Amino acid sequence: MPSLDAAPQAPYPWPIDFFIMATVWGASFLFMQMAGPEFGPLATSALRVGIAALVLLPLVLVRGQGAAMLRYWRPIAAVGLFNAGIPFACFTFALMHISTGLTSILNATMPLFTALVAWVWLGQKPGPVRLLGLAIGFAGVALLVVSKSSAGQAGVAAASSGQQVLAMAACLCATLCYGIAACASRKYLASVPSIAVTAGSNLSAAILLLVPAVWWGPRSMPGAPAWMAIAAVGIFCTALAYALYYRMIQTTGTAITSTVTYVVPLFALLYGRLFLHETVTPAMLGYGALILLGTALSALAPALRMFRSS
């Protein structure tokens, strides 16, 4: 996703958008876990991005941004693969072996990987505060993986320690892909309208996943609950959430908008506890708090530098 630092343009009750984004993104893990066992990771990912593209494309056409989407289709397709196609499949696979709460906590490492990729690829060397945040965040990840690799996960099918470690690795692969996509967007798509990038990336991800999703897709028709979960994650957790995300950036800027990352795990943990009867352990909360602290330091460090220089 492109980095937009637009200043607020008009008074708007942004807490409403913020709350809706946190609730629907937190629910995405619940919906993916409901759909994943019947559709499989690839078909779940393909349907999610395909539904989101169908919802967003009319908005792109109404705004006259279709030409921009076609002009930059190559980088948009690459961003779609790394920002949607691969991560959604990885998370769906992970949710077949570990809980929604644990998955959402690992998802919160996205800003850490974004900072790391920006350092390696774009040469944006982090300052002392951001380096401290990276160290704290990745220490929290390591401790969480070690503590959960030998613990059972309530609410999902019984999984071996090896399967759980592989699932957690899939989550980290997904957030690494998010970091690559964010830096690619900043480098190649900064001048392209955000909605065009979002719609185009979801459409391209759906096209790229079509053949693998059919080849490794379900061999029997999934039930109605799985179809409803797919529709919900595509419409609300992808199309609607991204639309609100970009509107909030335009009205409040990125500093406030980015903090939604820290709230999403709270809703995911709540949904997992209420609807899937998942266990929330002190280790998950403690190491999750460590990850969020590191993420906050990593994400807020650039804002602090800008504030000091102003």
pLDDT tens digits, residue range 145-191?
Answer: 887 654 445 445 556 778 888 999 999 999 999 999 988 988 898 88
Residue 253 maps to a domain: yes
Residue 126 maps to a domain: yes
Residue 5, φ and ψ in degrees, nearest 5 = -115, 40
Residue 117 maps to a domain: yes
The candidate with the shortest Cα–Cα distance to 51, out of 232, 243, 241, is 232
Query: pLDDT at residue 109 above 80?
Result: yes
pLDDT at 254: 58
In tens, the pLDDT along 48-72 reads 999 999 999 999 999 999 999 999 9
Query: Per-residue pLDDT averaged across 280-297, rounded?
Result: 86
Residue 182 maps to a domain: yes
CA dist 307 and 248 (Å) reads 21
User: Which carries the bigger pLDDT value, residue 176 or residue 254?
Assistant: 176
b/e sequence 260-298, b meaning 16+ C-beta within 10 Å = bbbbbbbbbbbbbbeebebbbbeebeebbebbbbbbbbb
User: How many degrees, rounded to 5, is the angle at CA 58 between CA 198 and CA 71?
Assistant: 55
Query: Per-residue pLDDT averaged across 113-128, rounded?
Result: 87
Structure tokens given for 20: 């809706």
pTM: 0.86
Query: pLDDT at residue 227 above 90?
Result: yes
CA dist 57 and 188 (Å) reads 21
* Residues 6 or more apart in contact with residue 111 via CB below 8 angstroms: 258, 261, 295, 298, 299
Average pLDDT, the chain: 85
CA dist 277 and 156 (Å) reads 10
CA dist 3 and 306 (Å) reads 15
Residue 18 maps to a domain: no
In tens, the pLDDT along 208-218 reads 999 999 999 99
Q: Which domain holds residue 229?
A: 26-309
The candidate with the shortest Cα–Cα distance to 266, out of 245, 280, 252, is 280
CA dist 107 and 204 (Å) reads 23
First to last CA, the chain: 26
CA dist 20 and 148 (Å) reads 30
Are the C-beta atoms of residues 197 and 107 closer than 8 Å to each other?
A: no
The confidence band for 87, taking pLDDT boundaries of 50, 70 and 90, is very high
Query: Per-residue pLDDT averaged across 228-255, rounded?
Result: 82
The confidence band for 7, taking pLDDT boundaries of 50, 70 and 90, is very low
Helix axes 86-95 and 41-62, enclosed angle (nearest 10): 140
The confidence band for 11, taking pLDDT boundaries of 50, 70 and 90, is very low
Query: Per-residue pLDDT averaged across 108-128, rounded?
Result: 87
Query: pLDDT at residue 255 above 80?
Result: no
The domain tally of the chain equals 1
Q: For the beta carbon of residue 300, count every other beta carbon within 10 angstroms.
A: 18
Residue 157 class from Cβ within 10 Å (0-12 exposed, 13-18 middle, 19+ buried)?
exposed
The candidate with the shortest Cα–Cα distance to 30, out of 265, 206, 302, 288, is 265
Worst-scoring range by mean pLDDT, 26-40, 206-220, 252-266?
252-266
Residue 3 maps to a domain: no
Query: Per-residue pLDDT averaged across 196-203, rounded?
Result: 92
CA dist 205 and 227 (Å) reads 20
Structure tokens given for 234: 């595509």
Residue 118 maps to a domain: yes
Query: pLDDT at residue 85 above 80?
Result: yes
Residue 1 maps to a domain: no
